[in-house]
Amino acid sequence: MANNRLKVHILFKFIEGPWGGGNQFLKALREYFRKVGVYSESLGDADIILFNSHHCFNELFIVKQKYPNKILIHRVDGPISYIRGRDRTIDKAISKFNRLFADGTIFQSNWCMKQNKERFNINSKYETVIYNAPDSEIFNRNGKTKFNPQKVKLIASSWSSNWRKGFEVYQFLDGNLDFSKYELTFIGNSPIAFKNIKHVKPVPSVKLAPILKEHDIFITASQNDPCSNILIEALSCGLPAVVLNDGGHPELVKEGGELFNSTTDLIAKIEKVAQNHSYFQSRIPGFSINQVAQDYYDFALAIYRDIEKGIYRPRMVNIKTRITFYNLKFMIFLWKESNKLRAVKDRIC
């Protein structure tokens, strides 16, 4: 790392075991910062605090009051309402909190940055795009099985069971894919029962990687996905991908796979990648957690240096900020309550 004086703390409620992509990426980022000696387990001892999306707003407000000179870096994904098809309120809250407290913003893809700017007016003096990366000790090509054109093994995955994660497409494949030529495995949570697709429940990363390596092509049909962590993990394991031409998918896959627009061209794109597997596999882009961590650190370091030079001052808490924050807190409370009511309604119906 460039400057060992600066210490980073990630303010996030980490969950062990299989969970969402943000949780997995931030764990990998934390482990690398620990390995190179720039991670602080304590908020008080950190110079840089990285926070994610809409998580830990209350804690951050307390931190900013207690430690006004600490630099807050906001990792922004979404827009969440684009991904879920609802929850526009939380996107508005993210935007307001970003303007109140974020000294810098890291977007997960160019698509993510464009959508958040245009729809929710997220703009920072310091901002950049940094893609996610997996834990390279887990997600790599070591032990990757050889491609067998006689029985091509496809795989898809999603932690979320939201229909927008591509389940209409997976349902189509379940009924229309030639299963005498292909196998298809789905790992994760699904709102539908498959007839021909093999369904595996969510597994932790150390078990997911070997399963990915047993397959040949990764499929994802998730809509408006800013930076799919599972897609990056599959590419890192040596799987060319066939992905929906949407969100950040094209930025990640580049020449390491094919884009499809609907179920009408999906199977043809799968066949193209299967017939030219070695070509696409040789063009899979690399994702290095070492480089990503360095990019995060350098971004924070640039803000720190401008503060030292007197060019920039960290965001401060004042009366106006407090009022806006409590209004924001009430907005989030109403959002959570409405989500609870929706969940109850869904169970009843």
What pLDDT, on a 0 to 100 scale, did the predictor assign at position 276? Answer: 98
Choosing from 249, 265, 281, the residue where a domain stops is 281
Give the N- to C-terminal CA distance of the chain in Å, as an integer: 54
Rounded to 10°, the helix 57-66/88-101 angle is 10
Question: Residue 186, SS3?
Answer: strand
Contact 212, 233 (CB under 8 A): yes
What pLDDT, on a 0 to 100 scale, did the predictor assign at position 345? Answer: 59
Q: What is the CATH number of the domain that holds 46?
A: 3.40.50
Residues 6+ apart with CB under 8 A from 155: 184, 185, 186, 187, 211, 212, 215, 217, 218, 219, 234, 239
Same domain as 246, residue 220 = yes
CA angle 226–23–190, rounded 5-degree value? 70
Same domain as 175, residue 98 = no
Question: Residue 178, SS3?
Answer: coil
- Please indicate, yes or no, if residue 146 is contained in any of the structural domains: no
The parent domain of residue 19 ranges over 8-133+288-348
Same domain as 260, residue 162 = yes
Residue 193 burial (CB count, 10 A): 9
What pLDDT, on a 0 to 100 scale, did the predictor assign at position 348? Answer: 61
pLDDT tens, N- to C-terminus, the chain (349 residues)? 444 579 999 999 887 766 667 788 898 899 999 999 999 999 889 999 999 888 888 888 888 889 989 999 999 988 888 777 777 888 888 898 898 889 999 999 999 999 999 999 999 899 999 999 998 999 999 999 999 999 999 999 998 888 989 999 999 999 999 999 999 999 999 999 999 999 999 998 899 999 999 999 999 999 999 999 999 999 999 999 999 999 999 999 999 999 999 999 999 999 999 999 999 999 999 999 999 999 999 999 999 999 999 999 998 888 888 888 888 888 888 877 777 776 665 566 5
Same domain as 191, residue 94 = no
- Please indicate, yes or no, if residue 138 is contained in any of the structural domains: no
Q: How many CA atoms lie within 13 A of 99 on its CB side?
A: 17
Same domain as 273, residue 341 = no
Choosing from 265, 281, 297, the residue where a domain stops is 281
The residues that bridge with 8 in the sheet, in sequence order, are 39, 48
- Please indicate, yes or no, if residue 112 is contained in any of the structural domains: yes
Same domain as 119, residue 26 = yes
| Tally of structural domains, the chain | 2
Same domain as 300, residue 218 = no
Quote the pTM value.
0.88
- Please indicate, yes or no, if residue 143 is contained in any of the structural domains: no
Same domain as 300, residue 275 = no
Choosing from 256, 281, 306, the residue where a domain stops is 281
Cis peptide before 210 (omega within 30 of 0): no
Same domain as 105, residue 49 = yes
- Please indicate, yes or no, if residue 105 is contained in any of the structural domains: yes
Q: What is the CATH number of the domain that holds 243?
A: 3.40.50.2000
- Please indicate, yes or no, if residue 70 is contained in any of the structural domains: yes
Same domain as 277, residue 156 = yes
> For residue 88, how far is the Cα from the chain centroid?
18
Same domain as 95, residue 27 = yes
Same domain as 161, residue 128 = no
Q: What six digits make up the tokens of 258?
A: 């094919």
- Please indicate, yes or no, if residue 318 is contained in any of the structural domains: yes
CA angle 216–250–112, rounded 5-degree value? 130
Give the sheet arrangement for strand 71-76, strand by strand. Answer: 8-11, 48-52, 71-76, 104-107, 127-129
3-state percent breakdown (helix, strand, coil) of the chain, nearest 5: 45, 15, 40
What pLDDT, on a 0 to 100 scale, did the predictor assign at position 82? Answer: 75
- Please indicate, yes or no, if residue 139 is contained in any of the structural domains: no
